[in-house]
């Protein structure tokens, strides 16, 4: 607890951050400290508003000193591994309100679309006369949580893009406060997206209701953790599985895993396990399905770290799978995507046929898999991968 203006208040983000530095869990970072200060300021504003709502004598006191106008939230953007999620999680834990919600942005939008569908069904059944589903959906969301925290704020789906302006205008009108982390600045959201002109008003709405902060820390803390871990695990046994799981925990920084869909030229590619900028697949999910270069490129653009479990030894009978694996590794290599693999054999032993185009091409794949294991490749490639994402 701390003292502010003579009153005992909540523990601060600054205090939690300082404790982690003192115990060696974190290294002090000036860029992170600026975000910490902004988060604490926002908590103070939210606390003022919460107390001003109360009907008690204390609420009356705070209502007199309460600053008028909406509470401006925060939009924190920067490269991967800079600590954005960690700082937002501190804020979410410490902000002293019950009506708060933390979600991955894609999960939140899936919930919104489900609510819209239920409203339209109710309209069709004569259970409501409200034709526009956005206002009642926004009101319902605001009643359940008026502080919304989004991890990995990104817009890739045109269905999301087309409703964001109206949805968030309604949410902000209901008094919702937004805190979001993202890898991109607001002006770069949904860049090159279909009908982006219809999305652009949302950017102005976002900037009016959230202070934009760039977390430009020099150190990629996630990369430092990952650089200490093996990236190619063989053979396929319990030890490899345990090491893959440990690397996944480091790459995702403890985020909750969710299912995600990438929409590519009218097709849908399912990502079974995604968390932040990391995705995890089995070999079968990538190479035994009819996926092509465009699909692998979309995956590489969306994620900077890919996990592939269970790569088997292949022969002539698995030529199609081998072709896709060759194309997949070429794509990930060219895009400088960090790769973690568990495999039945070392790279040079993954393809056993000695004839055919695949036998010749797989020698290049094996060489690239070896190179992608090196510390130098990780430092020079993965550190700058997706810097413009």
105-150 per-position pLDDT tens digit: 877 888 999 999 999 999 999 998 889 999 999 999 999 999 999 9
Nearest to 372 by CA among 227, 274, 243, 218: 227
258, two tokens: 């969710």
**Higher-scoring residue by pLDDT: 227, 148:** 148
Residue 388 — pLDDT band, cuts 50, 70, 90? very low
The Cα 16–Cα 36 span in angstroms is 10
CATH 3.40.50.300, the chain: domain bounds: 2-214
Residue 264 — pLDDT band, cuts 50, 70, 90? confident
* Cα of 13 vs its chain's centroid, Å: 22
Residue 328 — pLDDT band, cuts 50, 70, 90? very high
C-alpha dihedral (210, 301, 286, 317), degrees to nearest 10: 180
How many helices (H) and strands (E) would you count in the chain? 16, 13
Nearest to 115 by CA among 175, 152, 163: 163
Least-confidence region, from 104-113, 240-249, 301-310, 361-370: 104-113
- What pLDDT was estimated at residue 380? 54
H or E stretch covering 43: helix 30-53
- What pLDDT was estimated at residue 304? 85
- What pLDDT was estimated at residue 67? 54
The Cα 320–Cα 328 span in angstroms is 12
The Cα 98–Cα 29 span in angstroms is 30
Nearest to 340 by CA among 272, 385, 266, 283: 283
0.75 exceeded by the pTM?
no
49-56 average pLDDT score: 67
- What pLDDT was estimated at residue 225? 59
- What pLDDT was estimated at residue 382? 45
Q: Is the pLDDT of residue 168 over 50?
A: yes
Residue 1 — pLDDT band, cuts 50, 70, 90? very low
- What pLDDT was estimated at residue 104? 80
Q: Is the pLDDT of residue 219 over 80?
A: no
**CATH of span 221-382:** 3.40.50
Q: What share of the chain is helix, strand, coil (3-state, %, to 5)?
A: 50, 20, 30
Among 3.40.50.300, 3.40.225.10, 3.40.190.170, 3.30.70.270, name the CATH number for the domain at 2-214: 3.40.50.300
The Cα 312–Cα 234 span in angstroms is 10
Q: Is the pLDDT of residue 2 over 80?
A: no
Residues 263, 267, 272, CA angle at the centre, nearest 5°? 60
């Amino acid at each position: 607890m701390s003292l502010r203006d003579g009153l005992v208040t909540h523990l601060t983000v600054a205090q939690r951050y300082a404790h982690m530095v003192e115990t060696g869990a974190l290294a002090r970072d000036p860029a992170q400290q600026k975000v910490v200060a902004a988060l604490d300021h926002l908590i103070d504003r939210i606390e003022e508003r919460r107390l001003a709502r109360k009907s008690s004598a204390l609420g009356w006191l705070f209502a007199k000193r309460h600053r008028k106008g909406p509470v401006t939230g925060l939009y924190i953007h920067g490269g991967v591994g800079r600590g954005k999620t960690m700082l937002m999680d501190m804020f979410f834990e410490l902000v002293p309100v019950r009506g708060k919600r933390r979600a991955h942005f894609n999960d939140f939008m899936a919930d919104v679309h489900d609510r819209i569908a239920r409203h339209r069904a109710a309209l069709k059944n004569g259970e409501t006369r409200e034709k526009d589903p956005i206002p009642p959906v926004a009101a319902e969301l605001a009643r359940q949580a008026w502080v919304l925290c989004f991890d990995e704020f990104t817009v890739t789906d045109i269905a999301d893009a087309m409703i964001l302006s109206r949805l968030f205008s309604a949410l902000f009108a209901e008094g919702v406060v937004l805190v979001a982390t993202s890898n991109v600045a607001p002006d770069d959201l949904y860049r090159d997206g279909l009908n982006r002109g219809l999305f652009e008003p949302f950017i102005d709405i976002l900037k009016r209701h959230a202070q934009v902060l760039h977390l430009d820390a020099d150190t990629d803390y996630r990369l430092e953790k990952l650089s200490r871990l093996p990236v190619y695990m063989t053979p396929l046994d319990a030890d490899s599985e345990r090491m893959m799981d440990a690397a996944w925990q480091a790459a995702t920084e403890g985020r909750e895993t969710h299912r995600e869909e990438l929409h590519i030229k009218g097709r849908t590619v399912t990502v079974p396990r995604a968390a932040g900028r990391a995705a995890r697949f089995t070999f079968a999910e990538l190479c035994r399905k009819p996926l092509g270069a465009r699909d692998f490129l979309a995956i590489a653009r969306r994620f900077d770290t890919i996990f592939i479990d269970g790569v088997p030894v292949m022969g002539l009978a698995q030529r199609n799978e081998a072709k896709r694996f060759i194309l997949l590794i070429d794509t990930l290599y060219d895009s400088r995507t960090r790769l973690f693999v568990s495999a039945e054999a070392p790279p040079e032993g993954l393809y056993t046929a000695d004839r055919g185009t695949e036998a010749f091409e797989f020698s290049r794949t094996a060489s690239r898999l070896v190179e992608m294991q090196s510390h130098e490749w990780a430092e020079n490639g993965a550190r700058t991968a997706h810097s413009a994402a």
